[in-house]
Structure 1
Amino acid sequence: MKIRVPRIHSLLTAICLGILSSYPSPSDASSPRQKHRINLEWKYHRGDLDSPPIRNAFNDSNWEDAVLPHTYKLTSINLDDNSDKSDQPTFHRDISWYRRTIKPEFTPGQRVFLEFEGAHQKTELWVNGTYAGEHATSAYTPFHFDITELVLPNQENTISLKLDNRKTDQIPPDGHIWDFVLFGGLYRDVYLVVKDPLHLTFPWEKREAGVAITTPSVSKRNATVSIRSTVRNQSTYVRNFTVVNRIINAGNVVVKKLEKQATAAPGSDTTLITTGGIDENLRLWSPNDPYLYRVNTQIISDGLIVDSVDNPLGFRWFEHRLGEGFLLNGDPLKLIGTNRHQQYPYIGDAVPNNLHRSDAIKIKEAGMNIVRLAHYPHDDSFLDACDELGILIAEEPPSWMELGPKIWMDRLEESTRVMIRNHRNHPSVWGWGAGINHRGPVKRLHYAAKEEDPYRVTMNNGTVWTGQQHSGITDLYAVMAYKNPDRPEGELMFAMEHSGSIDTRETEEFMNRYMGDPNRIGTALWSAHDNYSFKKRGGKYTNLSRWSAATWDAFRLPKPNYFWYKAQLSTEPMVRIGDYRAQKEDEIIIFSNCDSVELFHNGKSLGARTAERHSKNEHIPAPSIIYPFAWKDGILEVKGYVDGEAVATHSVRKPGEPHQIDLQFDTDGFHGYADGTSIVMAYARVLDKNKQIIDADTPLVSFDIDGPAEIVGDNTIGANPVTWENGVAPVLIRIGRSAGTITLKASSDGLKPDQAKLDISGPEHAPSLTAKPFFEPLRLRVDFGNIQQHIEDEWLAWTDGAPDTEERTIRGNWTAWTEGRKDVSKKSFTSNIGLKIEATISGNGTPLNWTHNWGMPGDLCFMAEDSVSTEANGGEISLKLKNLPQGTYQIKTWHHIANRGDAEVPTLQIKSSDAVHNSKVRHAAFLPSYGSAIKVSSAGIGGKGDGNSNKAASTFALTEIVSNGRDAITLYLSANETSGTISLCGFDLTQTKSE
């Protein structure tokens, strides 16, 4: 049970950070941040001991082996038939101990931390027998311990954890009653983190901590981003440093770099803000196109990168307008989604990252665009998945209905703040719950949320049977809409919970009210999955609440509502006959988003139909289609038609006796490599001899496994063998720690068995937990204009920098010549990555003229109005660039002609000489843009010409060139006609590949 944490050496860091070999900025990182997930090789003891097991020499060999995420105890689908009520006095109410050893490698001065994503619910830590501290804010928020002074480098160190999940009125949401279960255990990931003494703080430490990203202004074309970075100096001396923030697109290419320098005294925190933006090729984030950038933040000191982290970034903006509803990026969007608890059968809250992601994938496949996280902050991996998939999030602190004593309220407020600090950078987060479920708004939570994040809305979490019937101090009236609440006058309303019916009919009626009213901005059904509660709602499993509107059962098997939502929200044509839970004795219900459907019984058509419209479904995009038909036997088949063509089909038959098993893995969310912690679902479907799934409880199904994996649970909790409902027997499979093929077999007495295989790659394929690689391309933008005149913003001017004079604005009197010649000018430009590029513009023996115009509004107008030019008749312009690093580049060149007519604009021949081309023609007849400048009189009137600069901005010659890293590359411009001029207004050179 040892872990050896290797140091990340400077060479590896330079490669991982994607820094070009020619980049003169810091490229050696002697001790960058290390982050290692330490979920394996734990020892576990359920219950307290007479004396604390904190000594290194303590013998824990008879303890259970444990892998994180870990639950206090695996339990049956009915929570071991526990008789607790809603205050949960006994279930998992115990102390548990966890131990392991670590062997970190670090140098004197570096800081060593243990980072926890969450633990139920009070956590105390000892390192090598010395008490390190406790965490008791909540079970659902992250925390860390600085163990630097307690660990020895390059030696085994023992960590001992005491988790206390006993009932308390000190830690929210505990102390009262609630409609979910506080499972015990070390149920989220744990990390060992090593940092330089000069480092970025953890984001949850305080309001100004870590990296906080905001987007103060966003439009469809431009976006501003502000990045606040807090750096701690735990050195014994003053440190000078630079914060470098890079905005990186989805292709891992840097599109913006922002930096700022500072000095930090020993023992101090320094907060820096850098602000910039994107005004080229902006991609917005939305459910339909969840484009993600990221921000890489580096701390550079004494020429070395000493810390580096990544954070997600999505550009989007939210608006809430009475009469229009919710708008995302300026467009109306109806929020339709679900609530979610993080629980799974057997393992409770101890859900590995891949199953969190699997839930998000299934929610997205249903077409939903929002999830309310009930009733506590959820796992980071779920929010990561929502960022990537395009699912909006409403998140709230841990509570349910009641208030507690002062320490409870203080910790609830702190939980709110930590939740926001931890998840504020996720573009998927739409707003924060600032009330207590059932109760309504809590002022101190709203004020805390606004201090932490003034940019997002707060929601009141209200009901119609108690509390304020409006948003109160919060921004949005978010209500439990079980009794058809009225919308408060002058306010928008969000149904943060609502019910429906398992046959979908009540679901459709409820949704109709919201889809027809823009001021009812959205809905979140209760709930995505059947989940655990001690409220004893009846049924076979008294501790498993079955929700009539749920889209999946506890094992993530779809219910009829799943297909109803899919028909409303997905764009892919679909048609589905509802299973027996949705049908009536004399009706067949069909879910489809097609134009029409046609139902067949035993091959005979029952006619084509569309949905019958009425007041209870008039606003529904795809109402359910009802066939009056009493199905007794045989086969039903339905076809969906779009524009008269059958595009989707589904068939079912009345099931017979169980005959065989069909076994399949569900790998949604699974990355495919061995990590020892992931769990994948597998389902054994019990079929009749016609391969129709039965519609009853399954017989007992037994599972056997071979390969690097194990079955979660056994016969003591009814996990294996297992019987479940609606013809499906589920099983949970924990992935092992080595590569190989998993073979799972399913069998049942009297049934034909089946098996399924799953190939697993090795753990070496696991991604790094530190900053990801990126490519920072060289870019150089040059405007042929005088610095004293109109130079395009953020472009470099090709000028000698001498004082401007009236004479120099006259054609032909440009002074930026080399050695007195009128046909050659040489300049050295510093590129965006600090590399100097030598550039030469030449007429190759013919004089070059400086052409200046003005009166051109529009994009890139200041670049387009000036140029260096020569006569078309026998003239040529060449542009030579030296010192380019090896790689592939794209160069855009602009050749706009002002004050000219069509007949006076020659087409251009553009050649290139580079590593793979020798005076090769790249553009045989490029037609430049042209137009007339505006002429303005002193009275403010004049000509109507706009100079065509908007056309000029988009009319460029794009040429790919290749540099071998040694020789210059050259572009040659000549005219195909003898009249007019050859013009070069500016160029934009961008590297696309580094070699």
Structure 2
Amino acid sequence: MTGEPSGRVPWLAAQPRRAFLLGAGAALAGSGALAAALSRPAPPAARDGFGADWLFGPFVPGCTEPDFDDSGMALVSVPHCVVPLSWQDWDPTDWQQVWVYRQHFLAPAQLRRNRVFLQFDGVLSAATVYLNGRFVAARSGGYLPLRCEVTGLLTDKDNVLAVVVDGRWQQNTPPDLPEFPHPTAIDFYQPAGLYREVRLTGVPQTYLSDVYAQQIAVLTPNREVLLHCTVDSAKPVKGPVRLTAALSQHGAEIASSYTDLTGLPKGNTQVTISLQGLEAVQLWDLDDPALCDILVTLTVDGRKVHTYPVRTGLRDAQFTVDGFRLNGKPLKLFGLNRHQWYPFVGGAMPDRVQRRDAQLLKEELNCTMVRCSHYPQATAFLDACDELGILVWEELPGWDHVGDTAWQELAVRDVHDMIVRDRNHPSIIVWGTRVNETLGQYTLYGRTDQLAAELDPMRPCTGAVAGERGYVSPLYPVKAAGGVFSFNDYSRPRPPGSPPPLRPPRRGVPYLVSEAIGTLVGSAYFRRTDSLAVQREQSLLHAWVHDHAASDPHYSGLLGWCGFDYPSGWYHHYRGVKYPGVMDFFRIPKLGAAFYRAQRDPSRGAVIEPAFYWDFGPGSPPGGPGRDAIVWSNCEVLVVTVAGKRPVTVRPDRARFPHLAYPPFSVDLRVDGRTRPELTIEGQIGGQTVLRRRFSADPAYDTIAVTADDDQIIADGADTTRVALRSLDRYGAPRPHARGVLAVSVKGPGVLIGDPYLDFGALGGAAAVWIRSMRGTPGTITVSATHPFVNTGTATIESV
């Protein structure tokens, strides 16, 4: 993470306009707070997020003009999706129009005397920006920032920011493709909107616009960090200039250095500072992701002008023909692919929710790596990967197709912007510089690979290929940091029902399985409403391919497809949703997640997760889960008891899964369900019971649990948290085959993001809504659910 302050500075007042702005209620930040923000040794920008109080509607002629009557426009918060969505049945024609967002604000005089920049972190699918009626900038492509200078355009009166958002599909920009008439040409929908954060930042006339921390010889006593600094000056600077850098860890300064210059020309100047003497720096690792704080200070004529913070971590990540190594130690990469889409809002979720996905991948699914498929994702997600210790593959936008020359130029632009934005993240270990599942394009990919080598010599490049042609395709020339051959391996089992194979690693090149299973191996759908056999199969399929990858050190690892269900109209979708996720669209684990949940050291907590439901009602097997019921656990022994009868002791099935750290347990659970027997599974390690779980077959005591991810959110009009709704037995185990409609209501200063009435049967007894705060309105939010014949709970959230 680079160049962002740790907190918001309340120096810019933003108010919605109805008839006019400059009347009662218009506010201006106190001059003392503003002076402190601009005069202290500060981060590169003080900011006030443009989160709440946007005016929104369809584009009409004149809507970018300052005096446009916007009194009838809707009041919305950003992140924002242009249309309300449900959890299925998305229709892309609903958002494929041109829209406009308007924001009114007052700018203090001290801000107007400095340089001012607008930044849009992500706009789908194209944005054109106007300030006070003047065109400022435009960008097509929705996954990387649009940053534009607006110095001199602010007034001392009502400033009007207008953003025209083009949500139409056939734009000549990655990943869109004008030659295809429908967005189903790619495997994910892209609902339009200002779906990431918007910021207005003020900086001095001469400031630090970028710092790249290049790590050198990290595993040697001579480790070094080269800080490549960009100084941007609006006019020539005379006199002495000094750049000072200090590296700290755990609050203690470890190294510092400086570089002196005599004056600066107008424009950009590149300056490099070397930090040495770093032997005391603790390396960033998965189990202890120790981060470093670097602060670069710009001084002109002995006066501190600007500071630029960089958060990074020192580590050595190497893909080799003999596997992957982190800090010199072999590590089998174990992970999943992630799409960034959510029910109800598309991609328009704020930082807290983005970070939550990283927590799920690390703490519930035990992933060591995630692939950001198939576009750069939110910086909040990457920040969380840095903090939690998850390795990341990040790639340019695109899927399966390459466009014309103009399209390819934008792909090169996206590679540049992606790497410059994210190259200080220690979690990122490889750049995807080639569009997913494309072949050839040697001129284009020669350019993108070379660009990556120039911008970031530390990381290799890759691009996933697929199929027989992809597997035998010629290797791309690789840059100095090397290259990785990444293969989407959807080899089908023969005969059906047997373990799916993997192709052997290609020799002479680092080899990574970048996708496997998905909806192309086994069932086309893995839903809670599918048969128990299908849901059970998902966990076994993922386990088999990970076991295979663990069998040969020449596999760097395997990334399954995928972490979460997502919206798509391409192949094997059902009502606009793809169901390959081991967690569903709502981020609730399926039975298929049980394999991943068990793959952790017991010191982090014992796990017992059946790949079945203990249920004998309609839709469930009346004779129980069967002869080969699967239980995933990281225990040494399981003791299984049905209806209090003589317990059965079972051990991990290492015969079928010899290379997994924690194989499944197989147990004969053929029972007479008419008696509604209870099931108890006890996990033992070292002869001691470490976990005991009970499962009820009697639905009379079932409940619908209402659980919030967070008990507190910020009352800024943007902060949001999830509330999960799950049908559970009396002991907290999932109950399948729910029926009826679940009604959700909210009391207090919170906004419901989701459907107020959910078909709980169609959802398989598990769903979620999200709750957004109201700006400046703290208080207690109560979320309640009601069901016609099952007891329900409530969740409370404090908005502060």
Name the TM-score, length of structure 1 as normaliser. Answer: 0.69
- 5 Å-filtered alignment, 1:823-902, equals none
**Correspondence 1:497 to 2:515:** yes
Q: Could you say which residue in structure 2 is the equivalent of 1:543?
A: 576
Instruction: Tell me which moved more, 169-178 or 31-40.
Output: 31-40
Distance 1:732 1:33, change over 3 A: closer
Query: Aligned-pair distance for 1:150?
Result: 1.2
Q: Could you say which residue in structure 1 is the equivalent of 2:662?
A: 622
SS of the residue corresponding to residue 759 of structure 1 reads strand
**Correspondence 1:42 to 2:54:** yes
**Aligned partner of 1:161 among 138, 160, 163:** 163
Q: Is the 8 A contact 2:138 2:146 kept in 1?
A: no
Q: Could you say which residue in structure 1 is the equivalent of 2:71?
A: 61
Superposed CA deviations along residues 45-76 of structure 1, whole A, max 9, x for unmatched, are 0x331x13122221112111110110111212
Query: Aligned-pair distance for 1:506?
Result: 1.9
Distance 1:659 1:596, change over 3 A: closer
Amino acid of the residue matched to residue 525 of structure 1?
A: G
**Correspondence 1:652 to 2:656:** no
Query: Aligned-pair distance for 1:263?
Result: 3.5
Superposed CA deviations along residues 695-731 of structure 1, whole A, max 9, x for unmatched, are 113421112222221111445xx56x86653323422
Distance 1:689 1:451, change over 3 A: closer
Q: Is the 8 A contact 1:433 1:459 kept in 2?
A: yes
Question: How far apart are the structure 1 equivalents of 2:151 and 2:550?
Answer: 56
Question: How far apart are the structure 1 equivalents of 2:32 and 2:663?
Answer: 58
**Aligned partner of 1:487 among 505, 519, 536:** 505
Distance 1:11 1:495, change over 3 A: same
Question: How far apart are the structure 2 equivalents of 1:694 and 1:252?
Answer: 48
- The alignment-based identity, stated in percent, is 25
Q: Is the 8 A contact 2:254 2:281 kept in 1?
A: no
**Correspondence 1:553 to 2:591:** no
Q: Is the 8 A contact 2:333 2:368 kept in 1?
A: yes
Question: How far apart are the structure 2 equivalents of 1:421 and 1:7?
Answer: 35
Question: How far apart are the structure 1 equivalents of 2:762 and 2:286?
Answer: 35
SS of the residue corresponding to residue 408 of structure 1 reads helix
**Correspondence 1:661 to 2:669:** no
Superposed CA deviations along residues 173-216 of structure 1, whole A, max 9, x for unmatched, are 10142101121001000001001000122xxxxxxxx1111111
**Aligned partner of 1:573 among 606, 627, 648:** 606
Q: Is the 8 A contact 1:233 1:239 kept in 2?
A: no
Q: Could you say which residue in structure 1 is the equivalent of 2:648?
A: 607
Q: Is the 8 A contact 2:125 2:165 kept in 1?
A: yes
- Structure of larger gyration radius: 1
Q: Which runs of 5+ in 2 are unaligned?
A: 1-13, 16-26, 492-501, 523-534, 614-619
Superposed CA deviations along residues 569-603 of structure 1, whole A, max 9, x for unmatched, are 34432222223399843332111111111111122
Query: Aligned-pair distance for 1:13?
Result: 5.8
Q: Could you say which residue in structure 2 is the equivalent of 1:232?
A: 232
Query: Aligned-pair distance for 1:650?
Result: 1.8
Question: How far apart are the structure 1 equivalents of 2:70 and 2:410?
Answer: 34
Superposed CA deviations along residues 922-961 of structure 1, whole A, max 9, x for unmatched, are xxxxxxxxxxxxxxxxxxxxxxxxxxxxxxxxxxxxxxxx
Amino acid of the residue matched to residue 121 of structure 1?
A: S
Distance 1:659 1:305, change over 3 A: same
Distance 1:557 1:221, change over 3 A: farther
Distance 1:224 1:647, change over 3 A: same
**Aligned partner of 2:338 among 329, 335, 340:** 340
SS of the residue corresponding to residue 587 of structure 1 reads strand
Question: How far apart are the structure 1 equivalents of 2:466 and 2:663?
Answer: 29
Q: Is the 8 A contact 2:320 2:509 kept in 1?
A: no
SS of the residue corresponding to residue 238 of structure 1 reads strand
Distance 1:753 1:645, change over 3 A: closer
Q: Could you say which residue in structure 1 is the equivalent of 2:19?
A: none
Question: How far apart are the structure 2 equivalents of 1:579 and 1:6?
Answer: 60
Superposed CA deviations along residues 385-441 of structure 1, whole A, max 9, x for unmatched, are 000000000010001111111110000011011000000000000001122211146
Q: Is the 8 A contact 1:655 1:695 kept in 2?
A: no
Q: Could you say which residue in structure 1 is the equivalent of 2:116?
A: 112
Distance 1:74 1:508, change over 3 A: same
Q: Is the 8 A contact 1:8 1:31 kept in 2?
A: no
- 5 Å-filtered alignment, 1:833-982, equals none
Question: How far apart are the structure 2 equivalents of 1:463 and 1:31?
Answer: 44
**Aligned partner of 1:92 among 78, 92, 95:** 95
**Correspondence 1:189 to 2:215:** no
Amino acid of the residue matched to residue 654 of structure 2?
A: R
Superposed CA deviations along residues 807-860 of structure 1, whole A, max 9, x for unmatched, are xxxxxxxxxxxxxxxxxxxxxxxxxxxxxxxxxxxxxxxxxxxxxxxxxxxxxx
Distance 1:603 1:722, change over 3 A: closer
Amino acid of the residue matched to residue 510 of structure 2?
A: L
Q: Is the 8 A contact 1:112 1:195 kept in 2?
A: yes
**Aligned partner of 1:726 among 764, 784, 789:** 764
Q: Could you say which residue in structure 1 is the equivalent of 2:246?
A: 246
Instruction: Tell me which moved more, 490-499 or 672-681.
Output: 672-681
Question: How far apart are the structure 1 equivalents of 2:415 and 2:131?
Answer: 29
SS of the residue corresponding to residue 630 of structure 2 reads strand
Q: Is the 8 A contact 2:51 2:716 kept in 1?
A: no
- 5 Å-filtered alignment, 1:330-369, equals 330-365=328-363, 366-369=365-368
Q: Could you say which residue in structure 2 is the equivalent of 1:76?
A: 86
Q: Could you say which residue in structure 2 is the equivalent of 1:523?
A: 558
Question: How far apart are the structure 2 equivalents of 1:553 and 1:629?
Answer: 27
Question: How far apart are the structure 2 equivalents of 1:382 and 1:10?
Answer: 30
Q: Is the 8 A contact 2:586 2:767 kept in 1?
A: no
Distance 1:641 1:752, change over 3 A: closer
Query: Aligned-pair distance for 1:259?
Result: 1.5
Q: Is the 8 A contact 2:727 2:736 kept in 1?
A: no
Question: How far apart are the structure 2 equivalents of 1:8 and 1:118?
Answer: 33
Question: How far apart are the structure 1 equivalents of 2:715 and 2:265?
Answer: 43
Q: Is the 8 A contact 2:335 2:560 kept in 1?
A: yes
Query: Aligned-pair distance for 1:320?
Result: 2.7
Query: Aligned-pair distance for 1:109?
Result: 4.4
Name the TM-score, length of structure 2 as normaliser. Answer: 0.85
- 5 Å-filtered alignment, 1:740-751, equals 740-751=779-790
Instruction: Tell me which moved more, 705-714 or 688-697.
Output: 688-697
Distance 1:417 1:482, change over 3 A: same
Q: Is the 8 A contact 1:373 1:396 kept in 2?
A: yes
Amino acid of the residue matched to residue 45 of structure 2?
A: R
Query: Aligned-pair distance for 1:513?
Result: 1.1
Question: How far apart are the structure 1 equivalents of 2:43 and 2:145?
Answer: 25
Superposed CA deviations along residues 750-777 of structure 1, whole A, max 9, x for unmatched, are 333422212232xxxxxxxxxxxxxxxx
Distance 1:234 1:270, change over 3 A: same
SS of the residue corresponding to residue 402 of structure 1 reads coil
Instruction: Tell me which moved more, 677-686 or 690-699.
Output: 690-699
**Aligned partner of 1:735 among 752, 770, 773:** 773
Question: How far apart are the structure 2 equivalents of 1:528 and 1:622?
Answer: 20
Amino acid of the residue matched to residue 515 of structure 2?
A: E
SS of the residue corresponding to residue 242 of structure 1 reads strand
Q: Is the 8 A contact 1:221 1:282 kept in 2?
A: no
Q: Is the 8 A contact 1:356 1:379 kept in 2?
A: yes
Q: Could you say which residue in structure 2 is the equivalent of 1:639?
A: 682
Question: How far apart are the structure 2 equivalents of 1:729 and 1:319?
Answer: 40
Q: Could you say which residue in structure 2 is the equivalent of 1:591?
A: 632
Amino acid of the residue matched to residue 553 of structure 1?
A: D
Question: How far apart are the structure 2 equivalents of 1:11 and 1:100?
Answer: 24
Q: Could you say which residue in structure 2 is the equivalent of 1:712?
A: 753
Distance 1:312 1:28, change over 3 A: closer
Instruction: Tell me which moved more, 57-66 or 367-376.
Output: 57-66
Q: Could you say which residue in structure 2 is the equivalent of 1:798?
A: none
Query: Aligned-pair distance for 1:299?
Result: 1.4
**Correspondence 1:752 to 2:791:** yes
Query: Aligned-pair distance for 1:278?
Result: 4.1
Question: How far apart are the structure 1 equivalents of 2:70 and 2:609?
Answer: 55
Q: Is the 8 A contact 1:169 1:405 kept in 2?
A: no
- 5 Å-filtered alignment, 1:800-811, equals none
Superposed CA deviations along residues 18-59 of structure 1, whole A, max 9, x for unmatched, are xxxxxxxxx9559973222111110000x331x131222211
Query: Aligned-pair distance for 1:734?
Result: 1.1
Query: Aligned-pair distance for 1:106?
Result: 4.3
**Correspondence 1:303 to 2:306:** no
Query: Aligned-pair distance for 1:379?
Result: 0.5
Q: Is the 8 A contact 1:634 1:654 kept in 2?
A: yes
